[in-house]
Every structure is written in structure tokens, then in C-alpha cells.
């Protein structure tokens, strides 16, 4: 039966019926995987924002070439940005579904992974970045 409240224990099903933990070793390895996936989520978010900033910069009139960027180049950068967004959103939703297992350890692993990823990849550069948009209503 699926839990509807938070519980603490090593027996948990994460995302798929085939991803079940029944020992402390499998439980701790699963928590480590979720922690790394959460940190990777923050890394991808940082890369996506920086990628968007690179292609959205407005150079001074001296640096502007006479011929603007071609439509093909613009389409390629938009496609790459959309791909990064899609991957980031998929990881975010999978992390949310993992937390919905209502296991306290899974919840802590995801939150700590997000915090470590933010600290490692996004902390301290907020002054240099301009918020471009809200990537996902759930983030």
C-alpha cells in the first residue's frame, strides 16, 4: 500500500516498481543517486540560464556586425535552449515524483542535493545574472 504521510524506513519504492529498496545498502545508494540527481538539476539550470545569457547579450553598436545572426543560427540556439529546458523540467518532475514516495530520507536527499547544487553551481553569481524568465511554475 502506498503511504500518504511521511514515514522513516529503509523499505521504499522510488518511481518504479523495479526500484525498491529492501536493505540499508540499497536504501543509502538510492539516496545518494537522488542527491546527485538533485545537484545535477541545479547544474543544468545554471547552464541553461548562462546559455540564454550568451545568446541574448546586446553588444554595443561598435561590436554589432553589419549582418545580423542568421535565422538558422537563431533557430539552432533556440532549439538547444529548448532541449536544455526539456531535460531540466523532466529531471525536476522526476525528483518531485520521487519525493511523493513520502519517505523522509528521500525528501531529505532531494532537498540537500538541491541545496548543495545551488551552493556549488549557482550561489554567489546572482549579482551578475539577470533573471530572464521563470523556467517552470513549480520551481
Q: DSSP string covering 84-115, please?
A: HHHHHHHHHHHHHHHHTT-BHHHHHHHHHHHH
Domain assignment present for 139: no
Instruction: Measure the CA–CA gap between 108 and 115, rounded to whole angstroms.
Output: 10
Domain assignment present for 129: no
Question: What integer is the mean pLDDT of 38-46?
Answer: 95
DSSP alpha helices (H): ranges in 4-139?
24-56, 71-99, 104-117
Which pLDDT score is estimated for 10? 93
Domain that holds residue 29: 12-122
pLDDT tens-place string over residues 63-75: 555 555 555 557 8
Going 20 to 22 to 24 to 25, the CA torsion angle's sign is: negative
Domain assignment present for 137: no
Domain assignment present for 28: yes
Q: Are 47 and 81 in contact (CB under 8 A)?
A: no
All three cell numbers of 113: 542535493
Which residues fall within 8 angstroms of residue 31, CB to CB, at 6 or more apart?
A: 105, 106, 108, 109
Domain assignment present for 25: yes
Q: Find, among 34, 61, 44, 32, the residue nearest to 139 by Cα.
A: 44
> Could you tell me the pTM of the whole model?
0.78
Mean pLDDT taken over the chain: 83
Domain assignment present for 133: no
pLDDT tens-place string over residues 83-108: 999 999 999 999 999 999 999 999 99
- Confidence class for position 127, pLDDT limits 50, 70, 90: very low
Domain assignment present for 66: yes
Domain assignment present for 69: yes
The total domain count for the chain is 1
Amino acid at each position: 500500500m502506498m503511504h500518504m504521510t511521511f514515514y522513516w524506513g529503509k523499505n521504499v519504492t522510488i518511481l518504479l516498481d523495479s526500484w525498491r529498496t529492501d536493505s540499508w545498502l540499497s536504501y543509502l545508494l538510492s539516496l545518494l543517486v537522488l542527491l546527485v540527481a538533485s545537484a545535477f538539476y541545479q547544474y543544468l539550470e545554471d547552464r541553461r540560464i548562462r546559455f540564454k545569457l550568451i545568446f541574448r547579450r546586446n553588444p554595443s553598436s561598435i561590436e554589432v556586425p553589419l549582418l545580423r545572426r542568421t535565422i538558422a543560427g537563431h533557430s539552432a540556439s533556440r532549439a538547444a535552449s529548448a532541449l536544455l529546458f526539456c531535460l531540466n523540467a523532466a529531471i525536476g518532475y522526476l525528483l518531485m515524483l520521487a519525493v511523493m514516495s513520502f519517505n523522509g530520507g528521500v525528501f531529505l536527499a532531494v532537498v540537500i542535493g538541491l541545496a548543495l547544487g545551488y551552493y556549488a553551481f549557482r550561489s554567489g553569481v546572482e549579482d551578475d545574472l539577470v533573471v530572464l524568465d521563470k523556467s517552470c511554475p513549480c520551481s
